[in-house]
Amino acid sequence: MESSDVDAAVRVQVPGKVNLALSVSPRREDGYHELTTLFMAVSLYDIVTATPARRGRLSVEVSGEGADQVPLDGSNLAIKAAQLLRSRHGTAELGVHLMIEKRIPVAGGMAGGSADAAGALLACSVLWGLDVDQSELLTLAAELGSDVPFSLMGGCALGTGRGEQLAPTLCKGSYEWVFALAHGGLSTAKVFADYDLYSAAQTTPRMIVDQLMTGLASHDLEAVRMGMCNDLEHSAIRLHPPILETLEEGLNIGGITSIVSGSGPTVAFLCADDDDAVNLAVGLSSFTSVRAVLRAKGPVPGARVLSNS
């Protein structure tokens, strides 16, 4: 522990996400892709705790789901978030020790790293007593990564640009989810590279995303099912073939529809109700292609402070 005052701590809860729709345009000259995506925040949470550290010191420790896969050096996105916040709104002597308790899958297409960055932005801004409002935090978040702003915002939102330009969307009621975690993870960069090689001409029409938004606004599960889509799904399957068995065979047990979450390899199942979700979770747990099964509800709020002492 690097803390200079173990009694001072800010605990922030930040959710994972599922992309109900992900439409990917061909790669631009700058290497990025134009995205149209519909985010939903779900009740799988990482906890980021920030405590003071000696002058200028930034450090991180990680526990929980996939902790051994998370870097602890300057490449950690939460550390980058603290550095960026300090450089824009703080002073060089500010230090922090970040403790991250993970439940969001690592490299699972559910924005675990982005969630931790969002949590670090909020926790450090409170710990350091910085006068930074939500809009300023969102601006910093967009510099850190495409999914980081949504981790701050939560709820449901339409993302455009690289996914960082957000517009909150109406979502009536609550949705039951079951997530099948795969053995190992997938690199987002490798999934996009495969998409560029094989699938760039297969962009989902915007009208499909619009249909999904209409379904969410009225809690029409059939319209939501018809609108759910992911342009990266075929690439994720090519890079991790067991995903296909999980997608297809899982639906024989239950669930309304299945989709690869983001860049994968986590598979998300939308369920009709709690009983459907329980049955599906039990059935999926016997699949050799599934490492673990998690249940969640959505939408839920974005990053929020749990305690400040």
Catalytic residue set: 17, 147
What are the tokens at 220? Answer: 């029409």
d(CA 288, CA 290): 5
Please provide the distance, in angstroms rounded to a whole number, between the alpha carbons at the two ends of the chain. Answer: 17
Q: CA 55 → CA 84, 128, 185, 269, distances in Å?
A: 16, 12, 36, 47
The span from the CA of 85 to the CA of 50, in Å, is 14
User: Token match 């079951």: residue?
Assistant: 178
Angstrom distance (rounded) from CA 76 to CA 70: 7
Give the C-alpha distances (Å, rounded to integers) separating 222 from 212, 225, 256.
Answer: 10, 5, 8
Distance, in Å, from the CA atom of 216 to the CA atom of 175, rounded to the nearest integer, reads 10
Q: SS3 of 290, please?
A: strand
C-beta separation of 267 from 260 below 8 A: yes
Residue 129 per-residue DSSP state: T
Beta bridge partner(s), residue 179? 268, 294
